[in-house]
Amino acid sequence: MKRVIAVILAGIVLAGAMSGCSGTASGEAVSVEPVSMIVGTGPVGLADRYAGMVVAGETAQVKRDQDKTILEINVEEGDLVKAGDLLFSYDTEAMQLDLDKTYLEREQLENTIASAQQAIQELTSERDKAKEGDKLRYTLQIDAKNVEIREANYNISLKDRDIATKEAALENAEIYAPIAGRVMSVDEDGTGGSNGYYDPSAGGGVGTGVDFITITDVTRLRIQGNISEMNAYALTEGMPMVVRSRIDETVTWRGTLSMIDWENPVQNDNNGGMVYVGSSSDDGMTTASKYPFYIELEDTEGLILGQHVYIEPDSGEEEEEKPEGPMLPEYYIQYEEDGTAYVWAADGSKLAKRTVGLGVYDEMMGAYEITEGLDLSDYIAFPEEGLEEGRPVERYEQQAADEMDMSSEPRVVG
């Protein structure tokens, strides 16, 4: 992408230089630009970056059943637990009494069926002995008993389902830690956690009911960033990402975007989780929600919890073997009769020829590597007609780019 934009920019510069004039009059100031802008390491050719932070790994919300009585809580906030450690247990005495009651109710229904079946046998025998005019009365009584049996059988099926649920609950009266980590909160009073801890990346709870204990894996690090719905198209789950140190940009970590949490907008911004962008509404503003996304890293060496980093899509450029010098478009390069390459560069306030060394040639970019004689901070002019040494120069300062909402640093979004 950087190369494409650099070529486009160079084409615009060339077109501008060739349109409407065939050169500059002697004595007029010559416009010069920084090499950094021309080769695309300044305000053009850089991908969006996202502000990110190192956060802990997976979070599990362990739930409790509010219909059950807790007998004992075995952990406190701040405890370190291993997967399978006992967290809390329910009062099984009350649960066993409830199960026994359901067994009795089912037994009563079976007795009802047995009584109805016995009554049907007696009524059938009496109907067989009765006169023809009395048989209908016995038949109606038999039909009523059959309805009673069908209703009791249906209620037994409901009781069987209820019994299976209660037996399972009794067997699972002890709740264990689903992951290893630190207990971040224990919501004994049902207010949402003793320290108000909430991690939108929790991705659901363990069990059914309401959140009761929050456990976070503090042994594994990952990266969290935020993305606005206005630029959500820029990222997709599964894409490779580069995490870059804010202190030394040559220090990087690689990973994969594992999740964009569309269900939980960011809640802790000054704007209540909202960012403002321009629109055509009456007040000229509209709002866009921001959502957290997470990166699982291949390696976390050198990262610490809470560290601030930059995040950007991994284009693979970091793995390419790059020239050491700047890649200057070939149309900026002139040649003496003996073949010596030079550019028109600013020497203080005057224009001068600057001999440069040429390295590799990139055919796709149409650019040469400058191995010596020119730095990114130097200013050079487009080689139009009429240039001569000693002409005054007019620098295209970085402030001009700032006025066009550009920056010498990559644009940080999210």
pLDDT tens readout for residues 294-315: 999 998 889 988 899 999 888 7
338 pLDDT above the threshold of 90: yes
For 194, the token pair is 């003793």
Res. 408: pLDDT tops 70: no
Spell out the residues 6+ positions from residue 367 whose beta carbon is closer than 8 angstroms to its own. Answer: 6, 39, 327, 328, 329, 330, 361
% of residues, the chain, pLDDT over 90: 41
Give me Rg for the CA atoms of the chain: 39
Is the pLDDT at 347 greater than 50, yes or no?
yes
Model pTM above 0.75? no
Q: What is the pLDDT of residue 252?
A: 92
Average of per-residue pLDDT across 201-208: 42
Residues 6 or more apart whose Cβ sits within 8 Å of residue 112: 148, 152
Q: Report how far Cα 391 is from the mean position of its chain's Cα atoms.
A: 54
Which of 202-206, 291-295, 393-397 shows the lowest per-residue confidence on average (mean pLDDT)?
A: 202-206
CA distance 389 to 336: 14
**Model pLDDT, residue 280:** 38
**Confidence (pLDDT) at 15:** 47
Question: Could you tell me the two tokens for 335?
Answer: 């040649």
pLDDT tens per residue across span 35-63: 887 876 443 334 467 889 998 888 888 98
- Give the model's pLDDT for residue 364: 75
Residue 290: which pLDDT band, with cuts at 50, 70 and 90? confident
Output the CA–CA distances (angstroms, integers) from residue 310 to 135, 200, 228, 233, 350, in the order listed. 91, 21, 16, 19, 40
Please indicate whether residue 100 or residue 24 has the higher confidence score (pLDDT): 100
pLDDT in the model for residue 397 = 59
pLDDT over threshold 50, residue 409: no
Confirm if 381 and 13 have CB atoms less than 8 A apart. Answer: no
From first CA to last CA, the distance across the chain in angstroms is 21
Residue 224 clears pLDDT 60, i.e. is over it: yes
- Between strands 412-413 and 49-56, the pairing is parallel
**62-93 pLDDT, tens digit each:** 988 888 888 899 999 999 999 999 999 988 88
Q: d(Cα 414, Cα 412) in Å, to the nearest integer?
A: 7
Residue 135 tokens read as 């048989």
Q: What is the mean predicted confidence (pLDDT) over 332-340? A: 94
Q: Is the distance from CB of 254 to CB of 314 less than 8 angstroms? A: yes
- What contacts 322, CB < 8 A, 6 or more positions away? none
Q: Quick one: average pLDDT of 354-369?
A: 89
Neighbouring-strand partners of residue 20: none
- pLDDT beyond 60 at 155: yes
Structure tokens at 405: 């909402």
CB atoms within 10 A of CB 299: 9
Kindly indicate the confidence band of residue 214, based on its pLDDT and cuts at 50, 70 and 90.
Answer: very high
Taking a C-beta distance cutoff of 8 angstroms, is the pair 181, 215 a contact? yes
Residues 6+ apart with CB under 8 A from 159: 102, 105, 106, 109
pLDDT 10s digits, 251-288: 999 999 998 888 888 765 444 333 333 333 444 444 56
196 or 175, which is more confident: 175
333 phi and psi angles, rounded to 5 deg: -95, 130
pLDDT value of position 24? 56
Q: Is the pLDDT of residue 146 over 90?
A: yes
> Mean pLDDT, the chain, as a whole number?
79
Confidence of residue 414 (pLDDT cuts 50, 70, 90): low
Query: Roughly what angle, to the nearest 10 degrees, separates helices 92-129 and 135-171?
Result: 160
Between CA 220 and CA 165 the distance in angstroms is 37
Q: What is the mean pLDDT of residues 373-390?
A: 90
